[in-house]
Amino acid sequence: MKLATLNDGTPDGRLLVVSRDLKNAVDASGISATMQNALDNWENVQPALADLYHRLNDGKFDGSFELYFDQLMAPLPRARQWLDGSCFLSHGELMQKAFNLEPIEGIEHIPLIYQGASDDFLGPRADIPLPSEAHGIDFEGEFAVLLDAVPMGCPAEQALQHVRLVVQLNDVSLRALAPREMKTGFGFLQAKPSTSFAPVAVTPDELGEAWRDGRVHLPLKVEWNGEWFGHPHGGAMHFGFHQLIAHAALTRKLSAGTVIGSGTVSNADRSVGSACIAERRAIETIAEGAPRTGFMRFGDSVRMEVRATNDDVLFGAIDQRVVKGGWPCE
């Protein structure tokens, strides 16, 4: 099943059921008004949403309409909680080597996760408004899952049953602001502006064999200003989403609508490129003693897309520009 959120002028939008090929949609608000409501009541609303999805794909629903991604918000426009991991160890190893960072104790055994802001997620075609190019504007291609309610102490072996939807995102980062925030030990705030999401959230079964071991076993294609930047594979996650969920729920329950991210998709094979600029700069620093690639400028664009092994579209593409924003521009 594929779901999206229509921008109807309200903060949470209106829930849509989307056809498998992402060409058409139908208003699902009669079943569940919003994505959050669906996650809160998944067991009750899922059968009706699934029936609508099947009828839409079979051409048996008369009220469908053509889907335009620029009319969509993030699938979950604002979330109860946003937890982002760093689960591709090749990315961390590069940063450590390039910038002479101290190794993090236990990184292979305990997931790294921080709690980010979740009140203002951006849609797939929304501009990314930021105050200054001097902040080191970067993109980060990731996968994430949307959860229903998870009880405290949920073991990893049972955690995947709480994954209701899988999404793909651009976790925008401001690299010039990150080092100080990391040193304080209080986590990111200014260095992590609003995160952007691909148009459509999909149930795990839509991924077929690509969804296994709590991981998305597909490449994430990233383009910067229309040029290939990388296509690293999601299967290289060191920790699966089941392990991230269990880690986050060790001492507290997780509310329905919690979003958990994989961290920047990264592979040890450098020929596949990268999903963020910082990683390319780290590779350049190691090879040449200094980075050659700059960060994003106002007017730059980034595109991210994931396709199935048969080339079917899955989440739809993120396709955005970075623009000058903030008071008094907005």
25 plus 128 within the same structural domain:
no
Count of structural domains within the chain: 2
Question: Do the domain assignments include residue 42?
Answer: yes
Question: Do the domain assignments include residue 179?
Answer: yes
Contact status, residue 88 vs residue 265, Cβ threshold 8 Å: yes
178 plus 248 within the same structural domain:
yes
35 plus 95 within the same structural domain:
no
The CATH number linked to 309 is: 3.90.850.10
Contact status, residue 175 vs residue 139, Cβ threshold 8 Å: no
265 plus 128 within the same structural domain:
yes
Contact status, residue 247 vs residue 238, Cβ threshold 8 Å: no
Question: Do the domain assignments include residue 329?
Answer: no
Find the mean pLDDT for residues 143-158.
98
Q: Give the predicted TM-score (pTM) of the model.
A: 0.96
Question: Do the domain assignments include residue 105?
Answer: yes
127 plus 193 within the same structural domain:
yes
> What pLDDT does residue 329 have?
61
Q: What is the DSSP string of 42-58?
A: HHHHHHHHHHHHHHHHT
Q: Which of 71, 96, 120 is the last residue of a domain?
A: 71
149 plus 173 within the same structural domain:
yes
Q: Which of 41, 71, 101 is the last residue of a domain?
A: 71
63 plus 131 within the same structural domain:
no
Reply yes or no on whether the pLDDT at 219 is more than 70.
Answer: yes
> What pLDDT does residue 330 have?
57
State what percent of residues in the chain have pLDDT above 70: 99
Question: Do the domain assignments include residue 99?
Answer: yes
pLDDT tens across 93-148, in order?
888 887 777 777 878 899 999 999 999 999 999 999 999 999 999 999 999 999 99
| CA 43, chain centre distance (Å) | 24
181 plus 226 within the same structural domain:
yes
58 plus 87 within the same structural domain:
no
Give the pLDDT band (50/70/90) at residue 91.
confident
Q: Return the residue matching tokens 């899988």.
A: 166
112 plus 57 within the same structural domain:
no
Token pair belonging to 306: 């994931």
67 plus 160 within the same structural domain:
no
Question: Do the domain assignments include residue 330?
Answer: no
Domain that holds residue 46: 2-71
Mean pLDDT rounded to a whole number for the chain? 95
Reply yes or no on whether the pLDDT at 65 is more than 90.
Answer: yes
226 plus 143 within the same structural domain:
yes
Kindly report the number of other CB atoms within 10 A of residue 285's CB atom.
17
Question: Do the domain assignments include residue 35?
Answer: yes
Most confident of 54-58, 91-95, 178-182: 54-58
> What pLDDT does residue 98 have?
77
Under DSSP, the state recorded for 22 is S
Question: Do the domain assignments include residue 62?
Answer: yes
> What pLDDT does residue 299 have?
98
